[in-house]
A and B are shown apart, each in its own frame.
Chain A
Amino acid sequence: DGGITQSPKYLFRKEGQNVTLSCEQNLNHDAMYWYRQDPGQGLRLIYYSQIVNDFQKGDIAEGYSVSREKKESFPLTVTSAQKNPTAFYLCASSPNPLAGYQETQYFGPGTRLLVL
């Protein structure tokens, strides 16, 4: 079954703690994205990666970090510097964007992060 998986489905963070959200895809897509969704709001881009070992900040990157060591994986770390981390986090991927033509983005099921 091809698709995007995110784990865990729910994650609890204590004050001052860093937590890492997993995102894996087996679609052979080059590009991967992290979005944040707050209740009743649209999606906001945190980070994106067009190719392995390269990533770029989105609109709200402060307090977050990412890595892209493998094509299939794009983990997101929510650091203690992110003061309001409670949200629904969505990972997406798309085929090769470097041709200049924007491809359709496909989303994972999401991880809901809650602060204790």
Chain B
Amino acid sequence: EAGVAQSPRYKIIEKRQSVAFWCNPISGHATLYWYQQILGQGPKLLIQFQNNGVVDDSQLPKDRFSAERLKGVDSTLKIQPAKLEDSAVYLCASNGNSYNEQFFGPGTRLTVL
């Protein structure tokens, strides 16, 4: 089966600019996750979707981050405006079974200058 797709793979922006990331999960997977992984740390969950509804966004900085999953398939994560501390790898993952295994995309490496 095709894996989780993400784009772009790399992005460099200046602080206060906006950026958007795209994720296409594995076909048929109802649950989609966005993680932020800062250098030297493990992935931290930002938001979790079940189909097109949000089930957990408790760690999403809602003043600058937003995410949507229209039609319960693809998802976009946006940062507006970006700060230096947003420099990280943004991972998308999906899950479609009861065994709780998450399948990860390659990630988008964001550098904020």
**Bound together:** no
The interface of chain B, by Cβ under 8 A from chain A, is none
Q: Please list the residues of chain A having a beta carbon within 8 angstroms of any beta carbon in chain B.
A: none
